[in-house]
Chains A and B, each alone.
Chain A
Amino acid sequence: MKAEEYLLIVVAMGLVTYVPRWLPLVVLNRNPMPEWLSRWLDLIPAAILGALLFPAIFTAGTPRQLVLLHPASIAAIPALLIAIRTRSLGLTAVVGMAVYWLLQNWPPNWLFGR
């Protein structure tokens, strides 16, 4: 790929990424929002996080396949408990990473059946 072509692609990629990040906020920040819209948007963060998280812990591979029991899903349990109890982002990340790492390197046979 030529350097100019790369530059063009990257600038266009930046543009098509930036506009959807910019337009709604700029339009909606200045104007009063109808009640129904703000009530719907209030549920969006929970929805997005659910939609990001579940496939990350319950699927694996390319093409993706459903995997209910593997390190990513098991490590989510202690991470969830810590998150509910402490509400600490750092602690949740550290505990999740540690459990995930242990399960990956020393997978318990009784759990994953291998």
Chain B
Amino acid sequence: MNTTIQKASSRNTVSAIRIGMTAALPICLGYLPIGVAFGVLAQKAGLSVLQIGLMSLMVFAGSAQFIAVSMMQDAAAAFSIIATTFIINLRHLLMSSSLAAVMKPVGLGRLSLFCYGITDESFALNHPRFVSGDWDIRSALALNHTANAAWVLSTVAGGFGGRFIPDKAFGMDYAMTAMFICLLVYQMRGKWYVLTALVAGIAATGMSLWFEGNMHVIAASVLAATVGYILQGRSMRKKALQRADTGADGAGES
């Protein structure tokens, strides 16, 4: 593992950035249809291209932007739009914490710049790479900001002329879902991860039928990680006890 860590830090900045940008390409592909769809919708809701680009640049969060625009269309109060945005995007709190567990200390400036680009997609790509050790802040920054640029540009493009693009062309609306499937596979590093993902998935599906919005993501994630944590802890203690019973024989295992 040490050799891979050295590999990432000994890389020169240009190639670190290039690797990050290349890794962002699948995200860009997935953002394109969603971004264009958002641009079209926002334009129909009466926003100018400048206003659309500004929102994408400031907020950079797909589902929150869709909901905000539909709330604006319904003439919702400013406060409720802002509060809804806060709740929808609160799940990034968990992602940010989780990234902290796998990232080496980084200067405040670069860290703040990196945090701006934490989304479901960039998180799911960055996290396993940080775990592998073959990744550093320069590549992660490049990844986040390439994805960000793709988002801003595709929403602006949608605002300009998205009406002429069929919105469900070639299954593009499935790009994000397919991506999440692969990113979930990256996270399956043992039985506890599989169990946690299943609990989260089933709980989230159930909750999503009851509640609108996407609070179910945060609620189901916290629940499932806690269940996984408790069961994993129990099994670890059991193994430790067994090891103590059998003495030195089993000590070399696992």
Contact = CB atoms under 8 A, between A and B. Distances in A.
Interface stretch (B9-17, B58-66, B155-163, B242-250): B58-66
A72 B177 contact: yes
Interface in B62-103: 64, 68, 72, 75, 78, 81-83, 85-86, 89-101, 103
28 contacts: A1-B46, A17-B89, A22-B112, A24-B97, A24-B100, A29-B105, A29-B111, A41-B101, A45-B127, A46-B187, A46-B228, A47-B199, A48-B200, A49-B187, A50-B196, A52-B217, A53-B184, A54-B201, A55-B205, A56-B180, A59-B209, A75-B174, A76-B177, A80-B181, A96-B171, A96-B174, A96-B178, A96-B181
Contacts of A52: 120, 180, 204, 217
A40 B225 contact: yes
B197 interface: yes
A114 interface: no
Contact of A25 (B85, B103, B168): B103
A39 B171 CA distance: 38
A113 interface: no
A20 B115 CA distance: 9
9 cross-chain pairs, A with B, having the tightest CB-CB distances, nearest first: A96-B178, A101-B171, A54-B201, A14-B58, A28-B100, A50-B197, A50-B200, A51-B204, A97-B171
Interface string B115-148: 1101010011101100000000000000000000
Given A11-B58, A25-B115, A104-B168, A66 B205 contact: yes
Nearest to B217: A51
A87 B101 CA distance: 24
A43 B55 contact: no
Interface in B185-236: 185-188, 192-194, 196-205, 208-209, 212, 216-217, 220-222, 224-226, 228-229, 232-233
Contacts of B118: 21, 25
Contacts of B178: 75-76, 79, 92-93, 95-97, 100
A99 B171 CA distance: 8
B209 A50 contact: no
Nearest to B58: A14
For chain A, the bracket of interface size reads 35 or more
Contacts of B93: 20-21, 23-24
Contacts of A95: 178
Given A9-B68, A55-B201, 15 more contacts: A9-B82, A12-B78, A17-B59, A20-B96, A22-B115, A28-B101, A29-B103, A43-B229, A47-B199, A50-B197, A53-B201, A64-B208, A76-B177, A93-B182, A96-B181
B50 to A, nearest CB: 10
Given A49-B180, A104-B171, A43 B196 contact: yes
A13 B68 contact: yes
A44 B98 CA distance: 7
B229 A17 contact: no
A87 B232 contact: no
Contact of A8 (B25, B46, B78, B128): B78
Contacts of A72: 174, 177
Contacts of B49: none
Given A29-B106, A45-B123, A56-B177, A83 B92 contact: no
